[in-house]
Amino acid sequence: MYVTCAAEVLLGAIVVLRPAKALITWFQIALITGFTGILAVYEPLLLANPFGMLSKNVPLVALIITTFLLDRDGWSRRSEWLLRAGMAVIWMTEGLFPKILFQQQIELDVVANVNPLPIESSTLLVILGAGQIVSGFSVLGLRGRLLSTLLALQLSALVVLPILVSLAEPALWVHPFGPLTKNVPIIAGTTVVFLRKTPFLTADWSNLLLVTYAVPKGLLEHRLPTGVVLDTRDDRAFLSFVSLDFSKTRVLGVPWPWFLSFPDINLRFYVRRGEQRGVVFLREFVPFRFVTWIARTMYHEPFESAQIQSKVFESAERIDVERQFEHGRSTHTVRAQATKPAVCPPEDSDAHFFKERYWGFGKNRWGETIQYQIDHPVWETYPVDSFEISLDWTTAYGVEWEILQDLAPASVVLAAGSPVRVWFTV
């Protein structure tokens, strides 16, 4: 037993620290399937155990194979559907076998103690089992917000149910067949599916004012994430001072009452990875300290808090935009006046090059490249008639950006905006 435990701990360390090579992958699968087969022969009821002692091995195998495929090929429909199927199977098997076909006294007793309904425990188990089966099949068939909601409910159940069970049977956490500890990788797999199918952020972005400057490449090259290069135009590198308004904001599908609408100011430059044309943010200002803390702590994004005011004046013929923020004991202002209606610039125009960016790139705290995808229709722009910027670049962004103080913009664009969805590519 000691030798076996030491070998399993070593195997776990190898899985964490090394890429998912074929040898390690198949070795894990052989151990799990062999272990499952032997136990199923000697104790067949373990296959229908209400705590999923053996049935949870199915999603574990799916997770292991998916990890191998991700390291080898990246995300594909095959790897995504394998993961979804693996997570769905556990709901189907735990609904069908222990709750409908092979009810066991241990689960009947639990249901009897908590059953608030005037029906027999065995009948309630059948109803719960049917619900789990439907839940498993629905994960494979639903789309959009319904799928995201179902996955969120499954995640909640995967967390809450083991806690409730362990209150009655704490020894299950150290059970040799891992009925509760196996929930941890299943939670991880379900979380990945949830993030693949649920946009991290949805919001309406409106009246985006982009003030763009041509700058020396040396100011930007050392800031590039690994695998990303500058996206130049006429062999010139650019960065943009961007201000916009957020509204109808949802994070992971949830509207946060105090953070639905707010202005945003960011400084970004233009990059590409293969055919993925995107941006890297140098600094982003928002008016909420909580949003700043979440962005910096969880996503390592360069957010800072600042008092920001946004004013938009519209008539049938014109639109005027003014944004003002305070930072470094200075007040910074940008204004633009434009003519209506909005028009769609040609694809070879400067405006299209700067506004149509569908990827964001950055670095996590370990220096690895992170990326996220931004979905939105092609934005129309208002013809800008006049423009003014009063910005102390040294105070707002540091001495290295003093070069921009007296530099004329290469482009000024006022985009109408649209609803957007931001996806973290898990």
pLDDT tens by residue, 333-377: 999 999 999 999 999 999 999 999 999 999 888 888 889 999 999
H helical segments located in 334-400: 350-355, 393-397
Question: 223 and 143, same structural domain?
Answer: no
Could you list the residue range(s) of the whole structural domain that residue 254 is in?
Answer: 201-424
Q: Is 55 exposed, middle or buried (0-12, 13-18, 19+ CB in 10 A)?
A: buried
Burial 281-295 (b: 16+ CB within 10 A, else e): bbbbbbbeeebbeeb
Last residue of a domain, one of 197, 220, 237: 197
**Calpha distance 328→398 (Å, rounded):** 10
- Please give the structure tokens belonging to residue 211: 């003030």
Q: Predicted confidence band at 426 (pLDDT cuts at 50, 70, 90)?
A: low
Q: Do residues 47 and 90 make contact, with C-beta atoms less than 8 angstroms apart?
A: no
Question: 98 and 217, same structural domain?
Answer: no
Last residue of a domain, one of 160, 177, 197: 197
**Calpha distance 84→95 (Å, rounded):** 17
Closest CA to 238 of 415, 414, 409, 416: 409
- pLDDT, tens digit, 9 for 90 and up, residues 136-163: 999 999 988 899 899 999 999 999 888 8
- pLDDT, tens digit, 9 for 90 and up, residues 158-197: 998 888 888 878 888 988 888 899 999 999 999 999 988 8
Question: 265 and 287, same structural domain?
Answer: yes
Question: 188 and 205, same structural domain?
Answer: no
DSSP 377: P
Question: 162 and 233, same structural domain?
Answer: no
Q: Strand pairing of 359-363 and 276-286?
A: parallel
**Calpha distance 421→373 (Å, rounded):** 8
**Calpha distance 177→183 (Å, rounded):** 12
Q: pTM, whole model, 2 decimals?
A: 0.80
- Please give the structure tokens belonging to residue 234: 């006429």
Three state DSSP letters for 280-302: EEEEEEECCHHHHHHHHHHHCCC
Residue 297's pLDDT is 79
Q: Do residues 262 and 307 make contact, with C-beta atoms less than 8 angstroms apart?
A: no
Residue 195's pLDDT is 87
CA 71, distance to chain mean position in Å, is 19
Q: Report the length, in residues, of the chain.
A: 426
Question: 193 and 212, same structural domain?
Answer: no
Question: 293 and 176, same structural domain?
Answer: no
Residue 255: CB atoms within 10 A of its CB come to: 11
Calculate the alpha carbon distances from 202 to 62, 206, 309, 404 in Å.
30, 13, 22, 33
Question: How much of the chain, in percent, has pLDDT values that exceed 70?
Answer: 100
Number of domains in the chain: 2
SS3 416: strand
Question: 31 and 143, same structural domain?
Answer: yes
Question: 184 and 206, same structural domain?
Answer: no
Q: Do residues 59 and 69 make contact, with C-beta atoms less than 8 angstroms apart?
A: no
Q: Which residues partner with 247 through β-bridges? A: 204
DSSP string, 227-248: T-EE--BTTBEEEEEEEEEEEE
**Calpha distance 140→81 (Å, rounded):** 8
**Calpha distance 251→384 (Å, rounded):** 33
Rounded to 5 degrees, what are φ and ψ at 77?
Answer: -60, -35
Q: Do residues 296 and 303 make contact, with C-beta atoms less than 8 angstroms apart?
A: yes
Q: What is the dihedral of CA 154, 156, 161, 162, to 10 degrees?
A: 100
Question: 133 and 207, same structural domain?
Answer: no
Question: 92 and 183, same structural domain?
Answer: yes
Question: How much of the chain, in percent, has pLDDT values that exceed 90?
Answer: 67
Instruction: For residue 279, give the amino acid letter.
Output: V
Position 425 pLDDT exceeds 80: no
Position 299 pLDDT exceeds 80: no
Calculate the alpha carbon distances from 85 to 56, 113, 138, 327, 381 in Å.
13, 33, 11, 50, 44
Question: 193 and 213, same structural domain?
Answer: no
Last residue of a domain, one of 164, 182, 197: 197
Q: Predicted confidence band at 82 (pLDDT cuts at 50, 70, 90)?
A: very high
Residue 125: CB atoms within 10 A of its CB come to: 22
Q: What is the CATH number of the domain that holds 278?
A: 2.40.400.10
Q: Look at the block and give the residue holding tokens 């707002």.
A: 396
Q: Which residues partner with 213 through β-bridges? A: 239
Residue 103: CB atoms within 10 A of its CB come to: 19
